[in-house]
Amino acid sequence: MWILNNGLLSFRSPVPAYEPSIGIYRRPSQAITRHAPTPLAVPGQARSLHVTTQGWLEMDWKKPADGGRVATYRIQRREAGVGPWTLVEIAMETEARLVDQARGSMLEYCVVATNKAGEGEASNTVTVSL
């Protein structure tokens, strides 16, 4: 039977249970106690965005130094200094190659770390002209 006591979830068995990892029987009065799960935090800021152009964009950045665990990175762009950010790509790692990007205009790119709790702060912005 499961018992919740002061934020701890405990299981108490009405019959002795064998614990193979330690080779003994556990009496019913001995409980297995687990702490309540830690709430998921929003990730911190992706850092040190760097872009190389060769007809396409090679992007790399560093994972956030703080905050929750990152699930994905959202790569966003906009015309330099104006307009809303537009999602370009979603990456699972700290690098991406973007092809078929708009040519002949100045574009800004940034990276945002995300998880189920939300979005972190946008990385530094890099301005590119293809």
Whether 59 and 92 map to the same domain: the answer is yes
Instruction: Evaluate whether residue 18 is within a structural domain.
Output: yes
Instruction: Evaluate whether residue 83 is within a structural domain.
Output: yes
pLDDT band at 67 (very low <50, low <70, confident <90, very high): very high
Whether 75 and 116 map to the same domain: the answer is yes
Whether 80 and 74 have beta carbons less than 8 Å apart is answered as: no
- Give me 122's structure tokens: 């946008």
Q: How many domains does the chain divide into?
A: 2
Report how far residue 41's alpha carbon sits from residue 56's, in angstroms, rounded to the nearest whole number.
34
Q: Identify the CA nearest to 87 among candidates 120, 70, 109.
A: 109
Instruction: Give the domain range for residue 28.
Output: 2-35
pLDDT in tens, 69-116: 999 999 999 999 888 999 999 999 999 999 888 788 889 999 999 999
Whether 61 and 31 map to the same domain: the answer is no
> CATH code at 124?
2.60.40.10
Instruction: Evaluate whether residue 42 is within a structural domain.
Output: no
DSSP per position, 73-89 = EEEEEEETTSS--EEEE
DSSP 120: -
Query: Is the pTM here over 0.75, yes or no?
Result: no
Whether 71 and 111 map to the same domain: the answer is yes
